[in-house]
Structure formats: structure tokens, C-alpha cells
């Protein structure tokens, strides 16, 4: 059991517990950031992601960036319109 930002979480075998935009999210172990974005139906070209306080600028690395327990992600999605 771990505590992340005041939220107590317990990992289940084969899962990784993350905090995404302030809410707990469980994903399969081994998932990449690209997998998470796909599951949320978000295009990497239209988001800005902060991981553990660091803005990720290299979108080409999303497919190889494996999510780890207790990662804290903030995802901002840009929406066009007029």
C-alpha cells in the first residue's frame, strides 16, 4: 500500500496505480504512456503531459515511456473550435 498526494492506494498484481489529473487510475503493468493515451482516446499531438512535475516535450518517446507505480500525470487536452 502506498500514499500519493494524500490518496492511499493498493496495487493489484499485474496492475500499476497512477494518479491522472488528480484521480486514481489503474492500468496493466507494462503499459506505456502511448497505451494510456489510446485508452483515453487522446491524440498525443493534442495534449501536453506533465509526469511527476516534469513536462514531457518529446512526443516520440511516449510509446517507449513505461508507466510506473505512483506516477502522477497531468494531461491537458487542446480542443479546437471557433
Give the pLDDT confidence score for residue 5 in this predicted structure.
Answer: 52
Q: 9: which residues sit within 8 A by CB, 6+ positions away?
A: 1, 2, 3, 17, 24, 70
Domains and CATH numbers, the chain: 2-77 (3.10.20.30)
> In this predicted model, what pLDDT tens digit does every residue of 19-53 receive, in sequence order?
999 999 999 999 999 999 999 999 999 999 999 99
> In this predicted model, what pLDDT tens digit does every residue of 7-23 receive, in sequence order?
444 556 799 999 999 99
> In this predicted model, what pLDDT tens digit does every residue of 54-82 receive, in sequence order?
999 999 999 999 999 989 999 998 877 76
Q: Please calculate the CA angle 47-52-54 and round it to the nearest 5 degrees.
A: 60
What CA–CA distance (Å, rounded) separates 57 from 44?
11
Give the pLDDT confidence score for residue 8 in this predicted structure.
Answer: 46
Give the pLDDT confidence score for residue 80 in this predicted structure.
Answer: 73
Q: 64: which residues sit within 8 A by CB, 6+ positions away?
A: 32
Amino acid at each position: 500500500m502506498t500514499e500519493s498526494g494524500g490518496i492511499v492506494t493498493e496495487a493489484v498484481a499485474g496492475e500499476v496505480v497512477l494518479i491522472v489529473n488528480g484521480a486514481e487510475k489503474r492500468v496493466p503493468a507494462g503499459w506505456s504512456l502511448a497505451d494510456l493515451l489510446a485508452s483515453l482516446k487522446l491524440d498525443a499531438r493534442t495534449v501536453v503531459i506533465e509526469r511527476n512535475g516534469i513536462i514531457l516535450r518529446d512526443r516520440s518517446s511516449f510509446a517507449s515511456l513505461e508507466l510506473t507505480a505512483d506516477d502522477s500525470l497531468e494531461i491537458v487536452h487542446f480542443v479546437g473550435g471557433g
